[in-house]
């Protein structure tokens, strides 16, 4: 039986950690719909396994989005996910306006099973200050409870967090950071809530002046991305053997990858008016190379497209060169040349027939079609 590439990675991780993550949808990959804008109501935050813990409005970001909630480029900044293609975002501090108030956002998730009394668990999550956040703070935390709750209003949840990360200096790290703890369960804990559980009088904050003006909504706030939440049992029972069941390959929007279907490569970017790939393109191309390695009997047809700016002849040549650059990258990753073909279509096949900048951005693309 042939085992898919995705399952082999999962089994490798399982072999080393030998612990099941009890968090449902821990890296926020599962989704009901692709996000297209920031949340304006707590009900807008619709992510399987998660909800808002008060009337604050957490946000969802996924690479399947074409709007302000894309990954890596979105309204709050620029960041790849810590793993996978998605993450969430919350306000952990805001500057009061006319009266003291501590606006907060929290995400709350349910564990697959309740914690067992006296057992030791490892708890962790990753967070990152959004690159357009003008303010940063010194703390973030996680609360365990035996039941779900939703606080009225959008103020601080008045509970002492189970995991409380407080630094001597506010967070300034550019990359992803981790909050973690080993915890002895009281028994029955089944829900976790992440956010800042301290009000504005207690929370230490710092202004990052160089970030002003990049996002008007963040000029007076501290905003963080969240990813990869984990709760694992340290005192383990013997583990059952895992059957190696093939798992279908899926594209970034969750659809199963099939031959004779066309898929748009996300975040494939080139130097301006040239065909030299930018490093931001490499994660998506590495994934494509992995798919072709897994499906060794498949071939790939790369099709380059441009927007409507410039002559027909120029755009045809540019689109061919950009498609060829993708082919050359895949060849450098070990994909045989006889499995790869390319075509340039210039501006002949737009996704959207319009001349605004958003439409032109969407029309500039490279597509792949898998052939058996």
In the chain, % helix, strand, coil (3-state, to 5) comes to 20, 30, 50
299-309 pLDDT per residue, tens: 999 999 999 99
- The C-alpha angle with vertex 71 and arms to 66 and 72, in degrees rounded to 5, equals 120
Domains of the chain, each with CATH number or no CATH: 19-233 (2.60.120.260), 262-371 (3.30.1330.60)
Q: Which of 100, 128, 365, 370 is nearest to 261 (CA)?
A: 370
Question: What is the arithmetic mean of pLDDT over 110-135?
Answer: 95
For the chain, percent of residues with pLDDT exceeding 90: 61
- State if pTM tops 0.85: no
Q: How far apart are CA 348 and CA 65, in angstroms?
A: 24
Q: Are the beta carbons of 171 and 177 closer than 8 angstroms?
A: yes
Q: How far apart are CA 21 and CA 25, in angstroms?
A: 10
* Token pair of 32 as six digits: 């009901």
What local confidence, expressed as pLDDT, does residue 3 receive?
40
- pLDDT higher than 50, residue 14: no
Q: Which of 61, 68, 109, 64 is nearest to 89 (CA)?
A: 61
What local confidence, expressed as pLDDT, does residue 4 receive?
44
């Amino acid at each position: 039986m042939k085992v898919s590439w995705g399952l082999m990675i999962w089994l490798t991780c399982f072999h080393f950690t030998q612990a099941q993550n009890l968090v449902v949808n821990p890296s926020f990959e599962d989704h009901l719909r692709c996000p297209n804008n920031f949340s304006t109501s707590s009900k807008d935050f619709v992510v399987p396994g998660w909800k808002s813990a008060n009337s604050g409005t957490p946000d969802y970001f996924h690479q399947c989005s074409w709007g302000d909630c894309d990954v890596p480029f979105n309204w709050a900044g620029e960041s790849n996910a810590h793993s996978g293609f998605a993450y969430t975002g919350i306000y952990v501090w805001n500057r009061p306006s006319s009266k003291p108030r501590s606006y907060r956002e929290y995400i709350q998730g349910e564990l697959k099973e309740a914690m067992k009394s006296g057992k030791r668990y490892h708890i962790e999550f990753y967070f990152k200050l959004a690159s357009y956040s003008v303010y940063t703070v010194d703390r973030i935390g996680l609360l365990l409870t035996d039941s779900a709750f939703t606080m009225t209003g959008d103020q601080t949840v008045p509970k002492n967090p189970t995991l409380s990360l407080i630094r001597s200096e506010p967070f300034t790290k550019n990359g992803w950071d981790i909050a973690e703890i080993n915890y002895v369960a009281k028994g029955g804990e089944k829900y976790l809530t992440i956010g800042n559980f301290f009000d504005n009088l207690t929370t230490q904050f710092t202004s990052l002046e160089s970030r002003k003006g990049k996002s008007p909504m963040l000029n007076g706030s501290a905003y963080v991305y969240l990813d990869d939440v984990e709760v694992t049992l340290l005192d383990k029972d013997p583990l059952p053997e895992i059957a190696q069941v093939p798992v279908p390959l899926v594209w970034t929007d969750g659809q199963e990858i099939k031959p004779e279907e066309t898929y748009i490569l996300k975040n494939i970017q080139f130097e301006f008016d040239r065909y030299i790939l930018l490093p931001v393109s490499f994660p998506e191309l590495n994934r494509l190379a992995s798919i072709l390695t897994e499906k060794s009997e498949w071939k790939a047809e790369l099709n380059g497209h441009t927007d409507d700016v410039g002559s027909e002849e120029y755009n045809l040549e540019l689109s061919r060169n950009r498609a060829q650059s993708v082919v050359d990258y895949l060849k450098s990753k070990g994909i045989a040349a006889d499995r790869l073909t390319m075509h340039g279509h210039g501006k002949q096949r737009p996704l959207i027939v319009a001349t605004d900048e958003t439409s032109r951005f969407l029309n500039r693309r490279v597509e792949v079609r898998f052939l058996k």
